[in-house]
Structures are given as C-alpha cells and as structure tokens.
Amino acid sequence: MDAVIKIRSLYDSFSPAQKKLADHILANRGEIPFLSIHDLAGQAGVSVASISRFARVIGFDDIKDLKVQLGREFQTTVQAIYPAIQPEDDDERIIDKVFAGDIRSLADTLKMLNRSDLVKAARRLAAARRVVFFGIGSSGYIAQDAALRFSQLDVQAEAYTETYQMLNQALRTRARDVAVGISHSGRSAITIKALELAVNKGATAVGISNYARSPLSRVAAIFLCTSFPESRVKVAALSSRVAQTGLIDALYLLTARHMTIRPGRTEELNAYTEDLVRVPPR
C-alpha cells in the first residue's frame, strides 16, 4: 500500500507527535528517503523512537522500509501532484483539476482497498433479508443511490437520511439484516449511533469512510475505506462521492454474482448492469 495514502487515511488517529511527523513527511516526501533517522527527527522535531513507532503504526517494519516506499512513490507521482483550485485558475484549469482529483481518488481507493473485506460484505448482502443504508448530507445521497441500485436485486433495500428515521429503522433491524453506514469523515454521530443500534439488534454493520481509524470503522464489522486527498482540491464533499460510488458499484455487482438469481431475473440484471456502466449516477 502507498505510504502517503496510508498516512492520510490514519491521520486523525495519530498522537500529536505522530501528526507532527506526518505533516513533515507529507510536505517533504521527496527529501525523506535521503535523510538519516536522526536528521529526520531533528527536522520534524520528534524523537528517534517516535519515528520508529510511526513506521510500525502505518504498517512498515521500520523507517528504512518506509523511506524506500516513499522514494518509489515520489518518483512515480511527482508529475501527478496538483495544487488546490485557486481564484486565478481559468475554466480549463479548473476542469483539469476536478477530473484529476476524481481520477486520483479512484486510483488511490483501489490501491488501499481490502478486496477480501469487499467480497465479504457482498456475500453478507447477498444473503441479507433486508439492507438499510444510512447517511447524512452528501453521504445521504450516496445512500439513496445505493438503495436504488440494490432494489434491482432480490433484496429489500432502503435508505434513510433523517435522524429520527435512521434511529427508528436501525431499531427495526434483525439478524440477517445488513446496515451500511456512509460517512466521508467517519465521525457522523447519527450514522455511528444507527450502526450501533443495528449491531445490538443482530444486524451486520458495514462502514464506508475516508479514514481508516475513524469512529465509524470501530463500530462496523466490515469496513471499506475510500481515499480522497483533501489538501489538494478543496471539494472533498464532491469528489469523495466518486470513490464512494465506485465502492457501491463494486458491491452491487459482487452481490449480484453471489446471489441465487431466480429464473427470469438474469436478463433484467444484465440490462441494469449495462445501464450502470454506460450512465454514471447523478
């Protein structure tokens, strides 16, 4: 997995010292591979021990492995880095930046995606009696779109985006139900509470968020992480939807594969899938 993607994904869960080190690495990642651990500690203002712990926290054996990975990433992505949208940007530049952000979001999400968890979620959905999607704000629109897609399958699919409805419907879930909570930040208190209530009723909780160690990830039995580099283009609420929708598309098609389709439904499913590929959701 890319080190930069992992650092951004775990950033909110870091200690103050780890955030300080993470900020320095992200701002100077082209130089990090050439620094000794003592030089890095001095520049970042942290201890050598903090650097070693940091490398392990984000999934590397030691700082040497982290530096090697950062060097590889810098060589392959230096041309793809783009700045935030600026007031002086013309129309063409804004278009380029938005599409670059969306493309990068999908590519980074695919790199960090735990495919076995995605398949596990699809199998749970394929066997579900009822699937309930929860989300507020922009994530609510994704939840509604997801429910519409899954309603094409032999499963009862619903979406709830208002506080009272979310909590009330979470209390109505049972065993063999699946509750899917969608939150870009992973900190939506209502979405988290709805998943907790559903879990207490025996439902399987699936979480979708941009942050690997968010509160949402802790309540979800199966967690799927998107990736959108918010510091580059300040449209996270928009571009994060691209990665979220990509996950929902994959879940839908995997679920269809693992379901037992009754006679007569195969052609309908194929037709819907062709429309899904041709026409992006609104």
Q: What angle do CA 143, 148, 154 make, to 5 degrees?
A: 120
**Can you read off the two tokens belonging to residue 30?**
């082209």
With a CB cutoff of 8 Å and minimum separation 6, the contacts of 81 are 232
- In the chain, the N- to C-terminal Cα span, in Å, equals 31
CA-wise closest residue to 130 among 154, 148, 113: 154
Query: What pLDDT, in 10s, does the model give residues 171-216?
Result: 999 999 999 999 988 989 999 999 999 999 999 999 999 888 889 9
Query: What pLDDT, in 10s, does the model give residues 53-101?
Result: 999 999 998 889 988 888 777 655 544 444 567 778 889 988 888 888 7
Q: What angle do CA 247, 253, 255 make, to 5 degrees?
A: 95
User: What phi and psi values does residue 181 have, to the nearest 5 degrees?
Assistant: -105, 130
Which pLDDT score is estimated for 120? 96
Sign of CA dihedral 171, 176, 177, 178: positive
> For residue 178, what is the enclosing H or E element?
strand 177-182
Which pLDDT score is estimated for 263? 45
Domains assigned to the chain: 3-81 (1.10.10.10), 115-278 (3.40.50.10490)
Distance CA 239, CA 10 (A): 19
Which pLDDT score is estimated for 251? 95
Distance CA 249, CA 276 (A): 8
For residue 34, give the DSSP letter: G
Contact 13, 213 (CB under 8 A): yes
What average pLDDT does the chain have? 84
